[in-house]
Structure 1
Amino acid sequence: MRDAVIVDAVRTPIGKRDGTLSGIHAADLSGHVLAALADRTGIDPATVDDVLWGCVTQIGDQSSNIGRIAVLAAGWPEHVPGVTINRACGSSQQAVDSAAHAVMAGQYDLVVAGGVETMSRVPLGAHRTTGQPYGPAVLARYDNVEFNQGLGAELIAERWGFDRQQVDEFAAGSHAKAAAAIDDGVFDDHLVAVEVDGTKFAVDEGLRRGTSPETLAKLKPSFKPDGVIHAGNASQISDGAAALLITTTERARELGLTPIARYHSGAVSGADPIMMLTGPIPATAKVLGRAGLTVDDIGVFEVNEAFAPVPLAWLAETGADPERLNPLGGAIAVGHPLGGSGAILMTRLLARMRGQGLRYGLQTMCEGGGTANATIIELLD
């Protein structure tokens, strides 16, 4: 079987809700990173076999196959196709997985994977305004219990015994690590500025410097009166996009490109759809088993910070080194633009691996409905 390698990865800065990126259509934001990827690598867009594009809320600005429309917005030739993938929050991580699988199988030679979400323009939960997504059979199976991610995060906190102090300490740490990464220029290489009203926007907008457990303690719980989850220890509603170029080692050589990392292994798994957000735990075990690696072999982990109890429960179950978990901060600090987050996390994972010379990195995302992706990549340069 052929290999699959990542040649380059780019992302926009992450805009906060109703912030700097809120006036930009999802197709234009997507087209911006596609164009930047082509410019940086020097590839001819006409040679791209397909664009696999993650997006969660596929209505309004993000309807009608946003993956295909992104190609047109980038100014790429009309013959280049595009498809939109929805695996909830893991949509663009699934796009990366699917792109790698297609390259390894010999069906594609050069493919772009990524995703977008403009949550300012297409609000979270907007798809529920026209119907019931779960349907009567599923609701009956689970005794009509509410499928709510916030309540799922509360159930995780209860099951693993995390109190308000613990989750708030984790959230404050996310902000501190993200601030340090921004100040150190860790993201500079893969971040492409977006021009808005004549000004270049080039920094993640959601960061709240000086966040502490004491400041977070003042916030009221969002889902239960006596709960631990609130706006400060949950991921931020955001806007953003990211894209990766994936090919084979041989094709990269032909194009004069130097691969950054090799796609090593991928796995998906399901879990309790009511607690919903524990999927990264079995997905991690599954991908490690498939890769023939142990948790100690992995130099850095990106576990999406949908809510603070998610990575904390993952850490408790896997026994991973806490110092290797989300060392650059995460979605609590800088935001979670749903369909773009998987690809955005991959750019962060690559940045950490390259900066520290780490051979293996593992990324995993909890997803609505109780599924999760887990992906291992191997540094080549």
Structure 2
Amino acid sequence: MTNAVIVDAVRTASGKGKPGGALSEVHPVELLATTLRALLTRNDIDPATVDDVIAGCVSQSAEQSINVGRNALLAAGLPESVPGTTIDRQCGSSQQAAHFAAQGVLAGAYDAVIACGVESMSRVPMFSNTQGKDPYAPLTERYPDGLVPQGISAELIAARWKLTREELDIFAAQSHQRAAAAAEAGLFGTQIVPVGDHAVDETVRPTTTPDGLAGLRPSFADPGLAERFPEITWSITPGNASPLTDGASAVLIMNEDRAAALGLRPRARFHSFAVTGSDPLLMLTGIMPATEKILARSGLSIADLDAYEVNEAFAPVPLAWLREFDADPDRLNPNGGAIALGHPLGASGTKLLTTLVNHLESTGGRFGLQTMCEGGGMANALIIERL
């Protein structure tokens, strides 16, 4: 069976996901179209040879509605014969797009496919697609005490893994320091696609320190939940959580034989996949069973992995994962994570994959793990092997 390989991966620089952010004047369709055009131009391939475009997007309303993936490929100038679809697995949407794309190649359904994602959180605010309605109302019989927002889930994780506010702030500051160092060393240069004149991650704050973060007020403190969750100490702040972010990313995935026939050099191959559901109250802990599942399937151990990208939705998430697997902290998000580089929801999966491929190449590493916690209690996990 031929391999499903990554030929190339690109992303935009992050923009602050609020009015006035660097990408806030860019329509999300054009934001994604920019990455698609760049991906095809960089590799000099006929767009008509693309069998499908699979896009991740979470808030599929307003400018991101009516199949943003299809609209973006048309805006990018791809032939009308190229189809496109948009999927939602919450924060893991474009990671799931990469899974579907690679699995389609392995199944023989695709020879060349693009997995991608976009989220303009400045123009299509988070939860705007609920239109003030409660999407969880039909679940009250199963969960009579009610589900909670992700911020409360992050507080519960910090409490149950006994992670202090100081530990969270130290980790968050480290994310900014690592991202700033990577940018200074030019490690992001080849992966970032300029949008207009914006080509530097706007969300990275090089001067961030734990002492500076210590002064921030908790974001989710709710006296009404104190009796239900007495263990919570209210330690999640804007400083140790990922910021609202605009961005897009895209990965060109091919059958290894097709890549060779086109004279393209595969950069990595898809080694293993896993996806799992988890407790929708804790919500963000699915990365643990997903990691266990993919290690069992791959035959690899944590020690075999040269890097692990664990999405930094909130600082307690990767820190709890680190404790669960007794993993090497130096291999965890080595170039910073979403706390610094931003979390453009639907684009984050292929954005992390772009970062991971480039890191393995720059360090000579062989295996990399990527895992993403997802709203509603789910997680994807993926292992790639550098070629």
TM-score, normalized by length of structure 1?
Answer: 0.97
* Paired AA for residue 306 in structure 1: A
* Paired AA for residue 164 in structure 2: D
1:244 aligns with 2:251: yes
Shift of 1:128: 2.3
1:10 aligns with 2:10: yes
Q: Residue in 2 aligned with 1:107?
A: 109
Shift of 1:129: 2.1
Q: Residue in 2 aligned with 1:325?
A: 332
Does the 8 A contact of 2:147 with 2:280 survive in 1?
A: no
Shift of 1:249: 1.2
Give me the CA root mean square deviation.
0.9
* Paired AA for residue 29 in structure 2: A
1:210 aligns with 2:207: yes
Equivalenced residues, count: 375
Q: Residue in 2 aligned with 1:120?
A: 122
Q: Give, in whole Å, the separation in 2 of the partners of 1:306 and 1:349.
A: 17
Secondary structure of the residue aligned to 1:215 is: helix
Secondary structure of the residue aligned to 2:303 is: helix
Q: Give, in whole Å, the separation in 2 of the partners of 1:24 and 1:42.
A: 26
Structure 1 gap ranges (5+): none
* Paired AA for residue 24 in structure 1: V
Shift of 1:130: 4.3
Shift of 1:145: 1.8
Q: Give, in whole Å, the separation in 2 of the partners of 1:243 and 1:146.
A: 33
Q: Hey, which bits of structure 1, 4+ residues long, moved more than 6 A?
A: none
* Paired AA for residue 260 in structure 2: R
Q: Residue in 1 aligned with 2:53?
A: 51
Q: Residue in 2 aligned with 1:66?
A: 68
Q: Give, in whole Å, the separation in 1 of the partners of 2:287 and 2:150.
A: 14
Deviations 1:318-359 (A, max 9, x none): 111111000100111121000000000001101110000000
Q: Give, in whole Å, the separation in 1 of the partners of 2:105 and 2:254.
A: 6
Secondary structure of the residue aligned to 2:283 is: coil
Q: Give, in whole Å, the separation in 2 of the partners of 1:78 and 1:55.
A: 21
Shift of 1:131: 2.2
Deviations 1:42-91 (A, max 9, x none): 11001100000000000001000001001111011111100001000000
Q: Residue in 1 aligned with 2:265?
A: 258
Q: Give, in whole Å, the separation in 1 of the partners of 2:237 and 2:173.
A: 13
Shift of 1:182: 0.5
* Paired AA for residue 119 in structure 1: M
* Paired AA for residue 360 in structure 2: M
Q: Residue in 1 aligned with 2:174?
A: 173
The percent of aligned pairs where both chains have the same amino acid is: 57
1:304 aligns with 2:304: no
Does the 8 A contact of 1:277 with 1:370 survive in 2?
A: yes
Secondary structure of the residue aligned to 2:191 is: coil
Q: Give, in whole Å, the separation in 1 of the partners of 2:238 and 2:131.
A: 23
Secondary structure of the residue aligned to 1:141 is: coil
- 1:219-230 equivalent positions in 2, closer than 5 A: 219-224=216-221, 226-230=233-237
Structure 2 gap ranges (5+): 223-232
Deviations 1:120-142 (A, max 9, x none): 00101112224221232x12211
Does the 8 A contact of 1:2 with 1:105 survive in 2?
A: no
Does the 8 A contact of 2:110 with 2:255 survive in 1?
A: no
Shift of 1:269: 1.0
- 1:1-381 equivalent positions in 2, closer than 5 A: 1-18=1-18, 19-136=21-138, 138-195=139-196, 200-224=197-221, 226-380=233-387
Deviations 1:144-165 (A, max 9, x none): 4233100000000010001110
* Paired AA for residue 188 in structure 2: F
Shift of 1:271: 1.1
Q: Give, in whole Å, the separation in 1 of the partners of 2:248 and 2:297.
A: 30
* Paired AA for residue 319 in structure 2: L
Secondary structure of the residue aligned to 1:242 is: strand
Does the 8 A contact of 2:55 with 2:94 survive in 1?
A: yes
Shift of 1:205: 0.3
* Paired AA for residue 49 in structure 1: D
Does the 8 A contact of 1:2 with 1:106 survive in 2?
A: no
Does the 8 A contact of 1:299 with 1:358 survive in 2?
A: yes
